[in-house]
Amino acid sequence: MSGLLSGPLSGRLTGRLTGRLSGPVARASVHRRNRAATFALDASVLAALLAASSAPTPLYPVYQDRWGLSALAVTVVFAAYSLALLSALLTTGALSDHLGRRPVLAGALLAEAASMLLLASADGAGSLTAARLLQGAATGVATSAAGAALLDLADPRHPGRSALTNTIAPVAGMAAGVLGSTLLVRFAPAPTSTVYLLLAALFAAQAIAVAFTAETARRHPGALRSLRPRLALPPAARRTLLTTGTAVVAVWALGGFYSSLGPGLVRLAAPEAPQAARGMVFFTLSATATLTVWALRRADPRTAVTLGCLAVLPAAPLALAGLHGAGAPAVHGGAALAGAAFGAVSQGTLRLLLAPLAERDRAATLAAYYVLSYLSMSLPAIAAGAATRQYGLGTTSHAYAAVAALLAVAALAALAGSRRRSAAAHPDH
């Protein structure tokens, strides 16, 4: 008997017992791998969306030379994207809470791919603006769904990873979009279409991949009712935005300036700079923002926001020094400081916002944050573009820098007041 049990029969019994014991463990391991793959996919979607948003920046000088666009026309094209995105956030920001992340995200990615094809075939300011409108709407729908999906997939073993990814993926995507577009402007045979065709293929592939992922949100009724424009913030998130909102406005306004008028500023400071390199000033900002988000990922979020506000103060004068003889290096130095401010304020604010949220509040709160952000990015840029027609880019840049610095000072005062109130409420801490 012992021989039989130690032979094939023993092997079969052992295999069955091992299978029964390891089945749940194996399924848990597969589940974790699937969640990790879905998390990576959603992060790549967020990065790709923002890469597509910044890809036109190095092409604006090309469009200006080819179609004779003014600075105002460039900012209108830029603002068309931002305002369409805002409209989408206001109406569809909570849609994925009702229909699920997967169908909303897959549909938005297909619309994003279509907008890339329209950008590739644009032949003037009108068609360019129409394509950017569609892109902005698709991005608005997709960003809140993808960002909320990342929060759904939060892993207790990695606290804070979802909030960090929601911050670092967009700025890393913006940097990649500017860099890739700049290289294609320099080396591709058809720079105004190649970058968009590549992005269209990427979005189509991501839409297919999303369709095969598991749903991360519990669906519930009220989808049509959720389309009514509104900003719904839970009390804790409302208090956070009241404290940090001015800082968010300051850094996103600087981002909008460098994204739309940055190439023109480099041309004004260094007329000899090659056309393909002018858009790299926004790469400087977004790359520095990415590094800052990573460097401050474990810092106290209020401290991060404070450091970001402090970085705004020297950023503006340094960039302006480029217009007074210091040239392109000063403009890029100012952009680097603006990027550090952008990264610190964005990640600090998002961590403060997202930490106390319940699942049902995630998409709507992210939508409200992005509404504030993109309003801050687009409206000042439109005003600056209009001002350049009457006062010139140099004078407009000085005024813009002064306003950004004042906003940073106001934000520092709000943060100091918040700390005092917190200390008074918790005297033992």
Query: 3-class SS at 325?
Result: coil
Q: What distance in Å separates the CA atoms of residue 335 and residue 95, rounded to the nearest whole number?
A: 36
Distance (Å, rounded) from C-alpha 113 to C-alpha 95?
Answer: 20
Q: What's the domain count of the chain?
A: 1
Q: Is residue 143 part of a domain?
A: yes
Range of the domain at 254: 26-212+230-425
Backbone angles phi, psi at 403, to 5 degrees: -65, -40
Are the C-beta atoms of residues 291 and 345 closer than 8 Å to each other?
no
Instruction: Answer whether residue 368 is part of any domain.
Output: yes
In a domain, 180, yes or no: yes
Specify if 221 maps to a domain: no
Tell me, yes or no, whether 225 lies in a domain: no
269 occurs within a structural domain: yes
Residue with tokens 């990573």: 294
Q: Rounded distance, CA 140 to CA 248, Å?
A: 18
CA-to-CA distance for 213 and 33, rounded, in angstroms? Answer: 12
CA distance 111 to 319: 37
Find, among 57, 265, 97, the residue nearest to 179 by Cα.
57
pLDDT (tens digit, 0 to 9) for every residue of the chain, 429 residues total? Answer: 333 333 333 444 334 434 444 444 434 444 566 788 889 999 999 999 999 998 988 888 888 888 888 777 887 887 788 889 888 888 887 778 778 889 999 999 999 999 999 999 998 888 999 999 999 999 989 988 888 888 888 777 777 788 788 778 888 898 899 889 888 888 888 888 999 999 999 999 999 999 998 887 777 777 777 677 666 677 777 888 888 889 999 999 988 888 777 888 888 888 877 766 677 888 899 899 999 988 998 899 999 999 999 999 999 888 888 888 788 888 889 999 999 999 999 989 988 887 776 766 766 777 788 788 888 888 888 888 888 888 888 898 899 889 999 999 999 998 888 777 766 665 555
pLDDT of res. 325: 79
CATH number, domain of 402, equals: 1.20.1250.20
Strand positions, DSSP E, 118-262: none
* pTM > 0.85: no
Q: Quick check: is 367 in a domain?
A: yes
Q: What is the largest CA-CA distance in the chain?
A: 100
Buried-state track 302-318, b at ≥16 Cβ within 10 A, e below 16: bebbbbbbbbbeebbeb
> Is 224 among the domain residues?
no
DSSP state of 123: -
Give the pLDDT score at 199: 96
Using the CB atoms, write b or e for 327-349: b if 16+ within 10 Å. Answer: bbebbbbbbbbbbbbbbbbbbbb
Count of helices and strands (H, E) across the chain: 17, 0
